[in-house]
């Protein structure tokens, strides 16, 4: 068993024992099973999944960090939402606003538009989770 703890600036989202965890790291998805080697990695926006007794739960997470040590998985993230917590209409509106803003900065250097591209990616992930995909 792994002890999974997911924390955002507002609250502790999850704290329980699980069988496995998959996190979206900066270098790709990382699957974590009991006795995993120690790991510290940046998170990118994506789907965090954990399984317990054959049931898989998924959350949309934004950037942050994950630390694995001694069968503990600690996730520090800006946001973590289940599909039921996501309002697709609000997310679509936010996505459209980010697209318009990105289009208005089309000539800007890529470094200057990184936060907008991350906002678009996060919106896409939240919409995918809300749609059950």
pLDDT tens string 51-107:
999 899 999 998 899 999 999 999 999 999 999 899 999 999 989 998 888 888 888
Residue 108 scores a pLDDT above 90: no
Q: Where are the domains of the chain?
A: 2-81, 86-130
Share of the chain above pLDDT 90, in %: 63
The predicted pLDDT at position 133 comes to: 63
pLDDT tens string 13-59:
999 999 999 999 989 999 999 999 999 999 989 999 999 998 999 99
Helix or strand holding residue 73 (H, E): strand 72-77
Alpha carbons 66 and 39: distance in angstroms, whole number: 8
What letter would DSSP give residue 16? E
- Show the 3-state SS of 42-78: EECCEEEEEEECCEEEEEEECCEEEEEECCEEEEEEC
The predicted pLDDT at position 24 comes to: 95
pLDDT-based confidence at residue 116 (cuts at 50, 70, 90): confident
Closest CA to 29 of 39, 50, 15, 43: 43
CATH of 2-81, one of 2.60.15.10, 2.40.128.720, 3.40.50.720, 3.90.1200.10: 2.60.15.10
């Amino acid at each position: 068993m792994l002890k999974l703890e997911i924390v955002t600036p507002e609250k502790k989202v999850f704290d329980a024992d699980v069988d496995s965890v998959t996190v979206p790291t900066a270098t790709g998805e990382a699957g974590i099973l009991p006795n995993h080697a120690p790991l510290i990695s940046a998170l990118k926006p994506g789907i965090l999944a954990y399984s317990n007794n054959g049931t898989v739960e998924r959350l949309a997470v934004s950037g942050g960090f994950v630390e694995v040590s001694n069968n503990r998985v600690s996730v520090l993230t800006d946001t973590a939402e289940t599909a039921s917590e996501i309002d697709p209409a609000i997310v679509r509106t936010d996505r459209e606003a980010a697209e318009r803003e990105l289009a208005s900065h089309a000539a800007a250097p890529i470094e200057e538009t990184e936060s907008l591209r991350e906002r678009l990616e996060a919106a896409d992930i939240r919409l995918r989770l809300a749609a059950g995909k």
